[in-house]
Amino acid sequence: MNKDITNRDVDFAQWYTDVCQKADLVDYSSVKGSMIIRPLGYAIWEEMVKVLDQKFKETNHENVQMPMFIPESLLNKEKEHVKGFAPEVAWVTYGGNEKLDERLCIRPTSEVLFCEHFKKIIKSYRDLPLLYNQWCTIVRWEKTTRPFLRSREILWQEGHTMHTTEEEARKETLQMLDIYKKFQEEYLAIPVITGKKTNKEKFAGAEETYTIEAMMYDGYALQNGTSHYFGTHFTKAFDILFLNKDNILEYPYQTSWGVTTRMIGGLIMVHSDDNGLVLPPKIAPWKVIIIPIGNVDEPLKELENTLKENNITYKVDLSNKTPGFKFAEAEVKGYPLRIELGERDFKNKEVTIVRRDTLEKIKVSFKDTLDTILKLLKQMQTDMFNKALERRNKMIYSVNTYEELKDVAQKKAGFIKINWCGSEECENKIKDDTTMKTRCLIEDEEVDNCCVVCGKKAITKVYIGKQY
């Protein structure tokens, strides 16, 4: 246990802040609500970007860059959209010393900018589909902020696509949801639940919003990505039309989808512990840290060469701190494997490898180092996912009465599965009584009781949970 890090089971919020700071992921600045992402935090983001960007390109998406400003009149074009976002945008009113004729908001999301551009470049079905993505920063003027989870500036990607048919657009929405799900499960080792948001919880302007819901160590939900089907809401508002194959003008069908640096917050709150950060090997920028102890120049060189040849990223701690201090620092920063390369051990042709997730110490003969590293990295990735999955599954509850719901909501952390009539009234009542919100509809389970709130006929099952 790291003495600078609050115990996770005692004060989860403080523990989270401690890990963010002690692992040198972020720093605060004099700009309220905006964080500084430090080298390790940004390197994790770069790994995420690398994998996702490749997946987007493999599925024929192209990157573009839109302006960061939206004129007020443009934001106002789609009514639901502006209602959802206007209260939380930052407004630019001066350029240099001159007051602007029209104020500009900094994009909270870029639907209206993409629509304006699409209107200019879409003429016929031959121009479709348009499969665009952009990596950028958005701004939402949040009142309370926390590193990675909720900040005024957010690094993210936003995909925006246009299609000739509803079917194709719906397929795109689900394809991107699936890419997010696989990425989070395979790379971040975070088991996720995906499904449709209720009408109340969907994106301002969307016809349907699909969400990625992850459960944190404390049982709270983190909405860790969304994929929206817009239908023709925006294309009608912007009067975007294309000539179809029969030479008839039609509105195209639209999607958008995004994930953010919030995923780093999710990584921390699912995997990290009282010693600091724990990173799944597949997303860790450096898989291995080598800590040489004593005179080990020769085996160090050999080990480095082996790692380089096998494209295993690593760092070497050559500082003049004590081994104990270096071990603790390697732990707090979450290197998946720590290799203690000691002079004495090496005389016996051995090295010690320590797994970050279990802190298990493994002594292996020097010649088996590479094989062991490869095996452990793979094992660790699987183990971390399974551990998170098992914990999450234990924290999903079913209830049959509203009393039971309130009782579980009060006494236990986690998600609750309920039968629901579909009314916003019942949704609101749950929120007022328990602070729990609906996470997403459950599509693969049949309704098996009345609505847990009003007792009327249920139309679907739904997950509810407290959220970040």
CB of 267 to its own copies, least distance (A): 17
Interface residue with its own copies among 74, 189, 291, 464 (CB under 8 A) is 74
CB of 12 to its own copies, least distance (A): 26
Locus of tokens 């302006």: 67
User: How many Cβ atoms are within 10 Å of 182's Cβ, its own excluded?
Assistant: 12
The 8-class DSSP code of residue 424 comes to: H
Contacts of 11 (CB under 8 A, 6+ apart): none
Q: How far apart are CA 16 and CA 8, in angstroms?
A: 8
Q: How far apart are CA 393 and CA 38, in angstroms?
A: 34
Task: Using the minimum distance from each CB to its own copies, give the nearer residue, 118 or 420.
Answer: 118
DSSP string covering 300-347, please? HHHHHHHHHHTT--EEE--SSS-HHHHHHHHHHTT-SEEEEEEHHHHH
Q: Sign of dihedral through CA atoms 161, 162, 168, 173?
A: positive
Phi, psi of 238 (to 5 degrees): -100, 0
Task: Using the minimum distance from each CB to its own copies, give the nearer residue, 131 or 177.
Answer: 131
Nearest to 217 by CA among 53, 2, 413: 413
CB of 87 to its own copies, least distance (A): 5
Q: Does 311 bind its own copies (CB under 8 A)?
A: no
Residues of this chain, 237-296, that bind its own copies according to CB under 8 A: none
Task: Using the minimum distance from each CB to its own copies, give the nearer residue, 212 or 288.
Answer: 288
* Contacts with its own copies, 139-178, as mask; x by CB under 8 A: x-x----------xx-x-----------------------
Q: Does 68 bind its own copies (CB under 8 A)?
A: yes
Residues of this chain, 101-120, that bind its own copies according to CB under 8 A: 103-104, 106, 113, 116-117, 120
Interface residue with its own copies among 17, 69, 450, 459 (CB under 8 A) is 69
Cα Rg, the chain, nearest whole Å? 25
Q: How far apart are CA 288 and CA 336, in angstroms?
A: 6
CB of 413 to its own copies, least distance (A): 32
Which range touches its own copies (CB under 8 A), out of 136-144, 213-221, 228-236, 293-301?
A: 136-144
Cβ distance 156 to 261 under 8 Å? Answer: yes
Residues of this chain, 15-54, that bind its own copies according to CB under 8 A: 27, 29-31, 34-39, 42-43, 45-46
CB of 103 to its own copies, least distance (A): 8
Q: How far apart are CA 65 and CA 67, in angstroms?
A: 7
Residues contributing to the site for its own copies (CB under 8 A) = 27, 29-31, 34-39, 42-43, 45-46, 62-71, 74, 86-97, 103-104, 106, 113, 116-117, 120-121, 126, 132, 136-137, 139, 141, 152-153, 155, 319
